[in-house]
Structure formats: C-alpha cells, structure tokens
Amino acid sequence: MNQSEELTLPRRLRRLRVSKSVRSLVQENRIEVDDLIAPLFVHEREGGPEAVESMPGVWRFSIEDTVHECRSLWDLGIKAVAIFPSIDPQNKDPDGSAGLNPDNLIYRAVRAIKQALPELVVITDVALDPFTSHGHDGLLNEETGDVDNDRTVAMLCQLAVLEAEAGADWVAPSDMMDGRVQAIRSALDRAGYTRTSILAYSAKFASGFYGPFRDAIGSKAAAGTSYLDKGTYQLNPGNAREAIQDALLDEAEGADMLMVKPAGPYLDIIRSLRERTLLPLVGYQVSGEYSQLQAAAQLGWLELERTRDESLLAIKRAGADLILTYFAKEIAQALKGGVSP
Ligand code: PBG
C-alpha cells in the first residue's frame, strides 16, 4: 500500500502499542507483590518437604520448614500466607474432633510462624475438611447423610476462636454454611478477638478445580474412591445471582473481606461483586487452575510464564484486590528481579 492508499482514521489504537515502553506506560493493571497471598501446606510427619504430585513445584512442609518458607516469602515482600494442614488419617474422625485440640498441627504451625514473623499476616481456613474422615467441611447429619448446617456452625465458631488464640490474623470460613460469618464474628468478639478479621470464602463454587488441593491435604475421598460432591453447600457453577446474594449476605453478617473461588473460571462473579461491594475482594486461583497450566507447560503446549502472568492479570483486571495463588513465590521473585507481569 503506498502513502495515498493509507486510511484516514480518527483514532489508531495501535499507536499506543508500538513498543514495549509505550505499552508499559499505558498498562492499566499490574500485579504487585502486595497483591499476593501464598497458600502453604503443612504436614505432621517426620522428615522434610513432600512433593504434592498433582501440583508441580508445591510442597507440604514440616512446621519448621514452613517457618523457613515463610521467612523467604517475607524477604521477597509477601505479607500474607494461608496455612492448610495435612492431617494424618489416623487423627481424623467423622466429627473432625482433632480440630478442637489446641495442640493440633494447624495451631502449632500458626504459633510457630507468628513467633518467628510477627508482622506476617497469617490466614487460616475455618472448615472441618482437614480433620474429618469423610472429607466434608462439616458434621454429617446421621439421618440425611448431609452436612448439618447449624451443628457445623457451632463447631466452626470454636475453631475460629482457637485459630485466633493461636495468632491467626485473618480467619477464613471456607465451609459455605449459612449464617457462619455472623456466628463466627460474635464468637470472636465474645472471646475478645475483636481485631481478628474474617475473610469470607463468600462465593465458593462446587468446583472440579479443587482436585489437586484435596490430594495435597488428603481430603479427596478419605472414604475411598469417588470425588467428593460438596454440592449441598458450595455454589452451583451455573449460578451467578445466587453467588452475589451469598457474598452480600456475608458482608451484611460482618465479613471484612470477600473471596471468589475459583477465580479464573469465575471472573464475571469477581467483576459483578466489585461493582456491588466496597469491601476488599480476594480471588483464589485454586489448585486446578495452577495445575492445568503446569501440566500443559510440561507437555510443551503452553508457555508457563506467559500464561501464569496472564491468568493473574485477568483476576486483577476483573476487580480482585488480592490473589491467593500457588505462583505467589515465583511472581515475587520475578518482581524482585525487575520483571513485571
Ligand atoms: C476446604 C478448602 C478447599 C480449598 C480451600 N479450602 C477445597 C474444598 O472445598 O474441597 C481449595 C483450594 C484449592 O483448590 O487450591 N474447605
């Protein structure tokens, strides 16, 4: 095309894409280290780190190694970790009673981390699945076989108080029982933990993307083989309005922050919640979102770093303030090295 054939256009958007420098100057969203929360798995067995097979690059650490890992995350600028315990099967029962033992793994881990790194924000799940032999997030009703909402909430309140007592800064109910945020808030306040925040897993879907996580904490199918169906308490993946309703109820019940989980497949929920709440919003890029990129990269089908960065930017762009991601450490390392997603 010669000069005379050039189009006369009022606006050429490609002008702001001409070079890396220009693109960087006009970039609307970026991932910063303060956006990141690192999930960590802790085990109670002898010995060092155990690889989580379905999550390449992710480990279960002993308490000592968890503290060590927290220190290196802190040195990279990461300010929050979420701790998930992998409890030995022999310490699990149908009532998840190990959760009420103040000396169990999770409380010991929190105490050790807070002692070593008092400024690091420690987040703990409030749910029974690490402790129940059946892997559900609550107590089962003997007649219906379903998770009993109100009995579970009563127990969650005890867990939340024990977590706060151990030093958790943010407790994160991940169980999806009705009314749990309000109950946990008043239990914490009654026990004097008015400064402990509630990060509510508000819009948590009954997702197949949690598979590798359940491997990591051993809650996959404690009973045997089948993939656990949590559909009577977690949200139906087909429902957006119901998800917003659930999240806004958590806000009304006193949640300090709201979470959408999984994040990547539910960007519409993040966006529409962003438009309806003034609370900080958290997206959880869950285990399956992580593992699918790792697997495709191992097969040579996707470029890991590009897809990783893009997946996180998408969550940020949708409206999340904070992102829980198994990529947290490597992103922090990249940012430290001057590479910005
Ligand atoms: C359990 C819990 C789950 C995750 C976080 N807390 C799994 C589940 O609900 O079965 C999933 C996180 C992930 O997949 O990375 N309450």
Per-residue pLDDT in tens (0 to 9) along the chain, 341 residues: 556 789 999 999 999 999 999 999 999 999 999 999 999 999 999 889 999 999 999 999 999 999 999 999 999 999 999 999 999 999 999 999 999 999 999 999 999 999 999 999 999 999 999 999 999 999 999 899 899 999 999 999 999 999 999 999 999 999 999 999 999 999 999 999 999 999 999 999 999 999 999 888 876 544 444 568 899 999 999 999 999 999 999 999 999 999 999 999 999 999 999 999 999 999 999 999 999 999 999 999 999 999 999 999 999 999 999 999 999 999 999 999 888 78
Expressed in angstroms and rounded, the spacing between residue 210 Cα and the centre of ligand 1 is 6
305 and 50 in contact (C-beta within 8 Å)?
Answer: no
Q: Which of 210, 227, 284 to mutate to test the pocket of ligand 1 (most atoms within 8 A of CB)?
A: 210
Expressed in angstroms and rounded, the spacing between residue 314 Cα and the centre of ligand 1 is 21
Phi/psi of residue 3, nearest 5 degrees:
-50, -50
Q: Is residue 124 part of a domain?
A: yes
3-state class (DSSP) for residue 260: strand
Query: What beta strand segments (E) does the chain contain?
Result: 36-43, 50-51, 59-61, 80-86, 121-126, 170-173, 197-204, 257-261, 281-285, 322-325
Expressed in angstroms and rounded, the spacing between residue 74 Cα and the centre of ligand 1 is 24
* Nearest atom of ligand 1 to the alpha carbon of 210: 14
Among the listed residues 92, 114, 230, 261, the single catalytic one is 261
Q: Is residue 23 part of a domain?
A: no
| Rounded to 5°, angle at Cα 35 from 39 and 121 | 55
Distance CA 275, CA 320 (A): 11
Q: Is the bond preceding 262 in cis, omega lying within 30 degrees of 0? A: yes
CA-nearest residue, atom 11 of ligand 1? 210
Within 6 A (CB) of ligand 1 lie 125, 127, 129, 137, 174, 210, 213-214, 230, 286-287
Distance CA 46, CA 66 (A): 14
CA-nearest residue, atom 14 of ligand 1? 210
* Nearest atom of ligand 1 to the alpha carbon of 39: 15
Q: Which of 55, 205, 213 to mutate to test the pocket of ligand 1 (most atoms within 8 A of CB)?
A: 213
Q: Is residue 24 part of a domain?
A: no
Q: Is residue 3 part of a domain?
A: no
Is residue 336 flagged as an active site residue? Answer: no
Is residue 261 flagged as an active site residue? Answer: yes
CA-nearest residue, atom 12 of ligand 1? 286
Predicted confidence at residue 220, as pLDDT, reads: 56
69 and 113 in contact (C-beta within 8 Å)?
Answer: no
Distance CA 238, CA 261 (A): 14
State which residues form the domain around 242. 31-336
Residue count of the chain: 341
Q: Which residues of 9-48 are buried (b: 16+ CB within 10 A; e: fewer)?
A: eeeeeeeeeeeeeeeeeeeeeebebebbbbbbbbbbeeee
Among the listed residues 92, 204, 220, 316, the single catalytic one is 204
* Nearest atom of ligand 1 to the alpha carbon of 285: 15
CATH code, 198: 3.20.20.70
Expressed in angstroms and rounded, the spacing between residue 306 Cα and the centre of ligand 1 is 25
Predicted confidence at residue 225, as pLDDT, reads: 44
Predicted confidence at residue 67, as pLDDT, reads: 98
Helix, strand, coil % over all residues of the chain, rounded to 5: 45, 15, 40
Give the CB-side neighbour count of residue 130, counting CA atoms within 13 A: 27
Q: Is residue 323 part of a domain?
A: yes
Nearest CA-CA partner of 215 in 46, 48, 56: 56
Predicted confidence at residue 73, as pLDDT, reads: 98
3-state class (DSSP) for residue 309: helix
3-state class (DSSP) for residue 250: helix
Q: Is residue 233 part of a domain?
A: yes
CA-nearest residue, atom 16 of ligand 1? 174
CA-nearest residue, atom 8 of ligand 1? 210
Q: Is residue 175 part of a domain?
A: yes
Expressed in angstroms and rounded, the spacing between residue 5 Cα and the centre of ligand 1 is 58
Expressed in angstroms and rounded, the spacing between residue 24 Cα and the centre of ligand 1 is 35
Predicted confidence at residue 328, as pLDDT, reads: 98
CA 121 and chain centroid, separation = 14
* Nearest atom of ligand 1 to the alpha carbon of 211: 14
List of residues 6+ apart from 293 with CB closer than 8 A: 302, 304, 307, 308, 311
Query: pTM for the full model?
Result: 0.95
| Rounded to 5°, angle at Cα 205 from 200 and 211 | 105
Residue 68 is encoded by which pair of tokens? 């060590």
DSSP 206-223: --GGGHHHHHHHT-S-TT
Q: Is residue 293 part of a domain?
A: yes
Nearest CA-CA partner of 212 in 143, 286, 158: 286
Burial class (CB in 10 A: 0-12, 13-18, 19+), 86: buried
Domain count, the chain: 1
Nearest CA-CA partner of 78 in 119, 114, 36, 40: 36
